[in-house]
Chain A
Amino acid sequence: MALIDLVVPEVIKTPLESTDKPGVLRELVGILRDAGRIGDYDAVLAAVQEREYKQSTGLEQGIAVPHGKTPAVSSLQLAIGIAPQGIDFNSLDGQPTKLFFLLVGSPDQSGPHVQALADVARLARSKAFCRAVVAAENAQEIVELMQGS
């Protein structure tokens, strides 16, 4: 399962409505629920929050990669959220976060989970790519950017 297989318009939201970190986490997990990708919203949210409590997944350059493991999902799930105005996510560089990649996997699928996270890490290294995603007007445009078309 490649990261790109998970990127469909139904799991992308731009712009996000939330204005703070707890709200963004709830909204990202809500994207998966609304897309019919998860059944147990509370369990998925708890897994993501548990990791986030240890240390923020807000990296540098306005990107965050909240993630978690839970048996509540049977396969790897991705949600992408864009907050063009930026949200305080306690990021490493203290800058507001604009681009969120949420990844939730099952403990028995840790290999694909790790690979997808590594793919996100590589994408996040391209500042031009991230700028283009944040500036995208709709979910379909983000899908096309992810596909490199």
Chain B
Amino acid sequence: MRKPIQRIMVYIDGSEPSITGARYAICLASSCGAELVVCYVVNTTAVEELLRARIFLQDEQVEYEHDMEANAERYLNYVGDLAARKGVAVIREKGRGSVHREIVEAVKRHGVDLLVVGELSHIRSRRDECYDEVERAMRGAPCSVLIAKDEDRIYELYESSG
């Protein structure tokens, strides 16, 4: 039988839940012998929206995009290091644009069969359901999706593995 999980992708945005998701994805990839793609999306769509809404000035747009690019590199490197400590090689995927679209496109492009995301918000509003980028990516992804929960347990799992 073909292995059910051959390529995992984890989406990170720098938040603690997303890093927890990355730790879990590393443990999974290690135990399944799967390849691991780490995806970060620079949300230029939101920045453009803020410019149009006149919440951002032009120089703020440039500044925040620069910050997000730097954060993307930092967090991709960070998760790459976390994976390397467990002997897992990663494929880096940095997108720009609409977060949910970029995630879904990356899943398709890399032939991912499991998308891992960090825990979603506990409290949901009806408005958020329409706009939450990760939730939209989960709905649109053509593969199975795993939500990593319980930060403490996953931290211990990661520390004790491999």
Binding site for B on A (CB under 8 A): 1-5, 51, 54-55, 57, 59, 65, 67, 69, 92, 107-115, 117-124, 146-148
Contact = CB atoms under 8 A, between A and B. Distances in A.
B14 A109 contact: yes
Contacts of B131: 118-119, 122
Contacts of A107: 67
Nearest to A58: B54
A3 B132 CA distance: 10
A121 B51 CA distance: 10
B55 A108 contact: no
Closest 3 CB pairs between A and B? A148-B126, A110-B67, A118-B46
20 contacts: A1-B17, A4-B121, A4-B125, A4-B128, A59-B55, A111-B15, A111-B42, A111-B68, A112-B13, A113-B64, A117-B50, A117-B55, A118-B46, A118-B49, A119-B127, A120-B55, A121-B53, A122-B127, A147-B124, A147-B125
Contacts of A92: 54
Contacts, number: 90
Interface residues of B, number: 34
B14 A121 contact: no
B132 to A, nearest CB: 6
A124 B50 CA distance: 12
B50 A118 contact: yes
A108 B46 contact: no
A123 B57 CA distance: 20
Interface in B1-32: 13-15, 17
B88 interface: no
A57 B122 CA distance: 30
B154 interface: no
A147 B123 contact: yes
A118 B132 CA distance: 11
A3 B128 contact: yes
A59 B14 contact: no
A122 B59 CA distance: 22
Given A110-B71, A117-B46, A2 B13 contact: no
B47 interface: yes
Nearest to B13: A111
